[in-house]
Amino acid sequence: MSLTVNELASMIDHTLLKPNISNKDLFQLCQDAMKYSFKTVAINNAAIPFCKKTLEGSGVLCDAAVGFPLGQSTIETKVFETIDAIEKGAGEVDYVVNILEIKNDNWKYVEEEMQRIVEACNERKIVSKVIFENCYLTDDEKKKLCEVALKVKPTFIKTSTGFGTGGATLEDVKLMKACVKDEIKIKAAGGIRDIQSVLAFIEAGANRIGTSSGVKIVEEYKKMVSNQ
């Protein structure tokens, strides 16, 4: 793989979504993101104003988590949260699908939810990512979600929140890639903690990586590149 260190770093959403943190932790997250030129800091929405101010002028974006992590808010709530996050300074939005309605086989609801959230992002020229939370879905449900995404066209579809019973798997990324080809980008997230995993996910079709181990991963890649 011929990625430069900077190209790899620009594919990382540097993540801090735990509830028991302070502004000191968020400040360090932002400092690391600026130092390594990560694409975004992926944060809960209450942290957006602080991180937006800290990142000002750096080019690193705030990536908002909407309906996180369960996805069980109403469509109206998620749309409001999306718009509010953008108005507060989010440059990208990751939202969790309503798994209840997937299990209810209510694909009309799932499509309407996706359409309205993606539309809210598109109107504001913001990147949208749909979190499938694959650990709770059958392969058929994953494929149906991909079919909905192909109709609605979010910027990305994403494997996981990192808060479910499982995270990203190569099998899921390969399945998602086979379904959407190059029409929609893929974000792998959840349990990705080393450079070997990152490179395997990119090889499988991932265009973006969500991880709280971004610093470690880039440092590992620097060593790998310098030894070649």
| Cβ proximity of 157 and 146 under 8 Å | yes
**CA–CA separation, 125 vs 195, rounded Å?**
31
Say what the pLDDT of residue 131 is. Answer: 98
> Which pair of tokens denotes residue 28?
């360090």
Q: How confident is the model at residue 45 (pLDDT cuts 50, 70, 90)?
A: very high
Q: Please give the model's pTM, rounded to 2 decimal places.
A: 0.97
Residues of the chain by 3-state class (helix, strand, coil), percent to 5: 50, 20, 30
Active site residue 139: no
Q: Which residues pair with 96 in a beta bridge?
A: 131
Say what the pLDDT of residue 1 is. Answer: 62
> Which pair of tokens denotes residue 109?
């609801």
State yes or no: pLDDT of 228 exceeds 80. no
> Tokens 């590149």 sit at which residue?
225
What mean pLDDT is predicted for residues 38-51?
A: 98
Q: How confident is the model at residue 2 (pLDDT cuts 50, 70, 90)?
A: confident
For the chain, what percent of residues have pLDDT higher than 70?
100
Sequence-separated (6 or more) residues with CB below 8 Å from residue 92: 13, 40, 61, 62, 63, 64, 126, 127, 128, 129
| Cβ proximity of 195 and 226 under 8 Å | no
State yes or no: pLDDT of 155 exceeds 70. yes
State yes or no: pLDDT of 128 exceeds 80. yes
Say what the pLDDT of residue 30 is. Answer: 98
What mean pLDDT is predicted for residues 45-60?
A: 98
Give me the chain's average pLDDT, please. 97
> Which pair of tokens denotes residue 173?
């990324």
> Which pair of tokens denotes residue 76?
């109206």
Sequence-separated (6 or more) residues with CB below 8 Å from residue 205: 173, 174, 176, 177, 186
Chain centroid to CA 53: how far? 21
Catalytic annotation, pick one of 39, 129, 158, 177: 158
Catalytic annotation, pick one of 129, 142, 185, 187: 187
State yes or no: pLDDT of 227 exceeds 90. no
pLDDT tens digits, 195-214: 999 999 999 999 999 999 99
State yes or no: pLDDT of 149 exceeds 90. yes
What mean pLDDT is predicted for residues 24-43?
A: 98
Say what the pLDDT of residue 54 is. Answer: 98
| Cβ proximity of 192 and 209 under 8 Å | yes
Catalytic annotation, pick one of 94, 129, 177, 185: 94
> Which of 165 and 1 is assigned the larger pLDDT?
165
What mean pLDDT is predicted for residues 179-202?
A: 98
pLDDT tens digits, 73-119: 999 999 999 999 999 999 999 999 999 999 999 999 999 999 999 99
